[in-house]
Structure 1
Amino acid sequence: MQIISTGYSKLDDLLGGGFVKGSTNLIVEWGGPIAERGCLGDLFLLLLLKKRIEKGDIGLIDCYSMNPEQMMNYAKTHNIDLTKAYNEKKVYFFDFSSVEETKRMLGEIDLNRLMASKYVEIVKTLIPKGDVFNVLISLSEYIMRHGTEAIYTHLTQEKERYESAKRTSVYLVEGTYYSRKYIDKLMSLFDSVTILKISMWKKGLNADKEYRRILSVDKSPLHYSKVPVDYKIEGKPAEIRFL
């Protein structure tokens, strides 16, 4: 069994030296593309990671950014035994759900340099779409951490800054990528997130603690609980899924 470096020293440490050559076939960024400070551009980071891995001849098939339900559905559709694949190091799960966690895993990334390079066209194709579920969960966590006024002010400022540069399809601000549609979605969901936050508080949940129990390389990919909340998303009963 040959171990090959991922190209990121901190990630290598987490994996015990790197990936197993020729055996890795799936990398999952667990939790979806919405980060606690907005969109970090996780799909972009996964793409860079994928390029580094491919250069090392590790045999990677693809990278994905999924929430638990999407991952289970993907595995079922593609006839993947997640537990078996995980134990055989054929599938890896990472938490890129926060700025600090990403820095811990991959180290500092000079996004300004990358934006000025050949990657700019790639980034334009990766404007995060997200989904209502992930937006709600992530923003409720941010609200609990920083308060409603802070997130409202932050989103308002970012929307204004994007509007001032709407001639471009992708706008870089504080290391974060935004599209007009994405910012508008965050703003329109603000009241809904507050409702979800109150629902979580009523149930005695500590979202900051629970949501951070993100799947990592040393935990089973199949053990997570479902916590019902008194809220509906697009007319359907919502569930918060905690690992």
Structure 2
Amino acid sequence: MTHDLLFDAPMPPAIPIEGEAQEFPVRRIFCVGRNYAAHAAEMGNQVDREAPFYFTKSAHALCLSGMTIPYPLGTEDCHYEMEFVVAIGTEAFRVSEDAALGAVYGYACGIDLTRRDLQAAAKEKRRPWDLGKDFENAALIAPMTKAETFGQPGAQHISLTHNGRTVQEARLSDMVWSVPELIAHLSRFYHLLPGDLIYTGTPAGVGPIAPGSALTGHIDGLHPVTVSFGEAE
């Protein structure tokens, strides 16, 4: 079936893949909240150990590593949050934890940017976090590594430097909810499909950026993610 569109539909954003000419097109972005106990504590929260919780970002919030981007609009307190990103490569619907990793295409380093002042205002009024979380260039990501090359998530080291100073450090094994647990849980509420990303949460040490800030995030076995910030538009 063809459609006579009013204007040209945008192409989906896509992520380079190590060793591949093709790129990974992005469909949806799921983000896990409070998945490291130390980060939950630094934000004055406790981890809900009954079930993980999520927020989402638009696919067009994606920003590839290596860019210099403007300081985000509408905020005076934008924070970095280093994350391990899971890329779904096959449909996953009501999958078991044992089968969940079979749906993974690859992994990448990512940074979740948060307009913390807007998020805090929304929390205070018990409103959604959209303005604080889902905005242009808010989902930074490095080139992807295939799952079979990376292996299974476990004790890999995750870290972030801000202007050369290490501000976040942990192990992927410190996550409250593991990758198989997250995929299995999400697949009870969504048909996870190729192109979906899961940002799996951030360790303690989040903090503000400013024009002139430079971030570099590392996870053992993955391409680093880098970004610099210019003046606000």
TM-score bracket for this pair, using the shorter chain length: under 0.3
Q: Which of 1 and 2 has greater Rg?
A: 1
Q: Compute the TM-score of the two structures, normalised by the length of structure 1.
A: 0.26
- TM-score, structure 2 normalization: 0.26
Q: Which structure has greater strand proportion?
A: 2
